[in-house]
Structure 1
Amino acid sequence: MPNPLLRLAALATTIAPLLSWSAQAEVVIGVDISSTGPAAAIGIQTNNAVRLWPATLGGEPARYVILDDGTDVSRAVKNFRKLTSEDKVDAIVGPNITASALAGLDVLAETGTPMIALAASAVIVEPADDPKRRWAFKMPQNDSLMASALVDDMRTKGIKNVAFIGFADSYGDSWWAEFNKAAGNDIKVVAQERFQRTDASVMGQVLKAMAAKPDAILIAGSGTPAALPQKTLIERGYKGPIYQTHGIGTLEFLQVGGKDVEGTLFPTGPGVVARELPDSNPVKSVAVAFADKYEAQHGPHSLTQFAGDAYGAWMLLDSAVGRALKTGAKPGTPEFRAVLRDALETTRDLVVPNGVLNISKTDHQGFDERARVMGVIRDGRFSYAQ
């Protein structure tokens, strides 16, 4: 007759791994996206990439709570509060616009929750030692990095005078400041005009910009609203070079702009033009791998800057969560959020679709010149310029 003690020992051996697995808390990540509203074109690309995130982080099960903020700042803050208080998330990815990211900083500080923003302006993370911004990180390149790429291209082309037409918000403010700083004494800004994301006409701004007789015009906007000034410029007969920012990187911008945006010059993350990059580019292999994954789901030439940023956020979290778990802290606790923040801040040489990340106590973005190339709109799609 079998010994009952041996049977119990065998049963315990069988159950122990299951108990160990079930006791491991899952990593929960909140995602705030502008899937509707004026920034919906950006949010949709973000959402597409988030849907491709693997079901693990750092080798452990992960759960993603995805909310739409409707491109509304107050709604974004409500989402932050729900994610932190009800869902007990370990980190937040998003939002897509700068104003919402800035408005959420108080929630991050109050709850000790790290954020990886998908909005561009450096004010989200600078200064990094600010008590609120201590918890804030972001994926998109700083405007200063992209502005210097534009200025380098303008200098190469002999452009001396530029008219500026930008959003009348924090995005436009950041670009106005960074472009002027990069331009220095070499390039003179001969006109500054602003417009709202929801404006139906920018005729007045365009006529004033053209009246200044610039060598080129820079439009500092994002998503489909950035197409309106350019279409108006072409309608009024402007023939000079038109530059845009990396914020235009949506398929909807190409559709809305049509033939009027052909030839547009813009800085972009290398992931957007992955297959056209020279083989020497350090990001190419990772960028092409993501392009293959994304376009298998959404079709050829469907990859954008925003999709690359969103997938890069998962890669950053995967690396940081793996290191945070080694401390012994458990997901779902304040201790884990704190060590996860520290792990994000010590990320080194991590290659993501849009660059190479080296994050530090003084730099919560982490990209350098390897995170930018010049692009051009050619034959209705985003292409590699140089």
Structure 2
Amino acid sequence: MKLKQIACVFGVVVGVGLSTLSWAQVKIGTIASSTGVVSAIGIPQRNTAMMLPEKIGDLSIQYIHLDDASEPNNTVTSVRKLITEEKVDAIIGPSGTPHALALIDLVSEAQTPLLAPVGSISLVLPMDEKKKWVFKTTQNDGLVADKLLQHMQDNGVKTLGFIGTADAYGETWYGVMTERLEQYGIRLVANERFKRPDTSVTGQVLKLMSANPDAVLVAAPGGPAVLPQASLYERNYAGTVYQTHGAAMNDFLRLGGKAVEGTILGGSLMLVPEQIEDDNPSKAIAQDYMQRYNEKYGHMPATFGGNVYDAGLLLVAALPVAAEQAQPGTEAFRQALRTALENIKELPGTQGIYNMTPDDHSGFDERGVELLTVKNGQWERVH
């Protein structure tokens, strides 16, 4: 499917000639944490899911939208329902890394493609027979980590303190960082954890401060990313604070205020579209999505919503290809859809360019990460 057709299908129906089918119906399940502790991520994802096209060429799309209330057990229950009762052809979601990791066995057994808008590299690597059913619409942690570590090295950072959430997100980031630190000449001097609902991290921050690192990396998604940095600010920590792409949202600026000034993170071009070159093919995609989201909901989307929008773009490209091979609602169709997703090349999304392969189900390269800082309460691209 051509880029122009893929872009247009989100606004109007496009004609893709499918010789064997006439308005065949595809069922897509979506699951987001639109309530609960992960809702800062889940709400823009749920809102974006409501914007996905109901017709793609000769295919009619039926969506079943569910909320897991930020609980991984609910995620599993909801996805089992989507698979066994609704018999969906693919699933978009969930909102959190722990929630998505809990689904690998389930979707692989059902042979149902999962397009997961979460960050953890462990969802798709190392690739195996189970993970081949999972595709990821965010930058791999390692891609972001390399951007951050290169900035640290270039700015003389020799020692690093780490604080992350006490779950799969924090643990994955700890692993990704520690396996890379030596090659950048950086030594880890402190390692702390906290729970997402925590309201204080005083003990952890005091331990970080006592280690006196040149910089601190906070590995937390959504609103919880602010708490450790605010605590460091209150205690006059003088080093640089780095954040993962889990903090790449405007709410981070609103919640953090002065405490997050000078933050360095690897994030999405959606945060600084006006600072991106016009010849970047993702710029137009991102701006179109953001404009239509704003028109529908009265405010700009968080970048997490863009991950769901990109999942929609991937399906727009892959569903017609699969429909040429098999009838929606069948195992053969789901197999064909997985293969079609795996063969997508040079597809611009809101945050980068997708080039999927059998070994890479994220598909982003360095074009999928922008190095950003916070200056005067606004995002600014780091050149």
Report the TM-score when normalising by structure 2.
0.90
Aligned to 2:75: 76
- Name the SS of the counterpart of 1:330 in structure 2: coil
Summarize the Cα distance change of 1:289–1:343 in structure 2 as closer, same or farther, 3 Å threshold: same
Residue in 2 that maps onto 1:13:
none
**Are 1:247 and 2:250 counterparts?**
no
CA displacement at 1:120 relative to structure 2: 0.9
Instruction: Give the aligned residue type for 2:336.
Output: V
Query: Counterpart of 1:11?
Result: none
> Of residues 144, 147, 159 in structure 2, which corresponds to 1:146?
144
Q: Kindly provide the amino acid, as one letter, of the partner of residue 50 in structure 1.
A: A
Q: Deviations over 1:49-86 (max 9, x none)?
A: 22221222355211111100111111000111111111
Does structure 2 retain, via aligned residues, the 8 Å contact 1:27–1:57? no
CA displacement at 1:291 relative to structure 2: 2.5
**Could you say what secondary structure the match of 1:155 adopts?**
helix
Task: State whether structure 2 residue 218 is matched by structure 1 residue 219.
Answer: yes
CA pair 294-59 structure 1, distance change in 2 beyond 3 A: farther
Match of 1:350 in 2: 347
List, as ranges, runs of 4+ consecutive aligned residues in structure 1 with deviation greater than 4 Å: 20-23
How many Å apart are 1:161 and its aligned residue? 1.3
The structural deviation recorded for 1:298 is 4.2
| Number of the residue aligned with 2:49 | 50
| Residue 196 (structure 1) shift | 0.9
8 Å contact 1:57–1:317 — kept in the other structure? no
Is 1:340–2:321 an aligned residue pair? Answer: no
SS at match of 1:291: helix
- Distance between the aligned counterparts of 1:253 and 1:79, measured in 2? 29
Please name the residue that 1:86 is paired with.
85
Q: Does structure 2 retain, via aligned residues, the 8 Å contact 1:263–1:377? A: yes
Aligned to 1:172: 170
Check whether the contact 2:22–2:59 (CA below 8 A) recurs between aligned residues. Answer: no
Deviation at 1:203, TM superposition (A): 0.5
* Residues 1:23 and 1:370: Cα distance change in structure 2 (over 3 Å): closer
Aligned: 1:122 with 2:140:
no
Residues 23 and 58, structure 2, Cα contact 8 Å, conserved in 1: no
Distance 2:29 2:320 in 1: 18
- How far does the alpha carbon of each residue in 1:80-132 deviate from its partner, in whole angstroms, 9 at most, with x for none? 1111111111100011111111111122122111000111111111222x222
* 2:180 paired residue number: 182
Aligned residue for 2:15?
Answer: none
Note the C-alpha offset of 1:21: 11
Report the alpha carbon displacement of residue 251 of structure 1 after superposing the two structures with TM.
Answer: 3.5
Query: What is the CA distance between 1:379 and its match in structure 2?
Result: 3.6
The SS at the match of 1:377 is: strand
| CA distance, structure 2, for counterparts of residue 151 and residue 161 of structure 1 | 11
Give the superposition deviation at 1:376: 1.7
SS at match of 2:272: helix
Q: Which residue identity does 2:257 align to in structure 1? A: G
Three-state SS of the structure 2 residue aligned to 1:189 is strand
- Work out whether residues 116 and 137 of structure 1, in 8 Å CA contact, stay in contact via their aligned partners in 2: yes
Map Cα deviations across residues 136-157 of structure 1 (whole Å, 9 max, x no partner).
Answer: 1111111000000101111222
Matched, 1:195 2:190: no
Secondary structure of 1:36's partner? coil
Cα distance between partner residues in 2 of 1:214 and 1:106: 40
SS at match of 1:308: helix
Q: Which amino acid aligns with 1:52?
A: M
CA contact (8 A) 1:258 1:380 kept: yes
What is the one-letter code of the residue matched to 2:369?
A: R
Task: Give the SS at the match of 2:253.
Answer: helix
Q: Measure the CA separation in 1 of the matches of 2:182 and 2:57.
A: 44
Match of 2:29 in 1: 30
Kindly state the Cα deviation for residue 255 of structure 1 after the two structures are TM-superposed: 2.5
The range that moved more, 286-295 or 112-121, is 286-295
Q: 1:24 to 1:296 in 2, by over 3 A?
A: closer
TM-aligned CA deviation for residue 297 of structure 1: 3.2
Kept in 1: contact 2:220–2:247 (CA 8 A): yes
Query: Aligned letter for 1:323?
Result: V
State the shift of 1:280 in Å: 4.2
Q: Which residue of 1 aligns with 2:159?
A: 161
Contact persistence 2:248–2:268 (CA under 8 A): no
Aligned length: 364
Residue number in structure 1 paired with 2:311? 313
Give the unaligned 5+ runs of structure 1: 1-19
- Counterpart Cα distance in 2 of 1:382 and 1:331: 43
How large is the RMSD of aligned CA atoms in angstroms? 1.9
Give the structure-1-normalised TM-score.
0.90
Taking the aligned partners of 2:271 and 2:333, their CA distance within structure 1 comes to 34
Distance in 1 (alpha carbons) for counterparts of 2:169 and 2:247: 12
The aligned counterpart of 2:103 is: 104
CA deviation string 1:231-254 (max 9, x = no partner)? 111111112211111101234333
| Deviations 1:169-221, CA, capped at 9 Å, x for gaps | 11111111112233224111111111111112110110111111111111010
Shift in CA distance, 21/337, structure 1 to aligned 2, threshold 3 Å? closer
**Matches of residues 131-142 of structure 1 in structure 2 within 5 Å?**
131-142=129-140
Identity %: 41
Offset of residue 256 of structure 1: 2.1
Equivalent in the alignment of 1:12: none
Give the residue type in structure 1 aligned to 2:308.
A
- Report the secondary structure of 1:26's partner residue: strand
- For the structure 1 residues 384 and 59, does the alpha-carbon distance in structure 2 shift closer, same or farther, using more than 3 Å as the test? farther
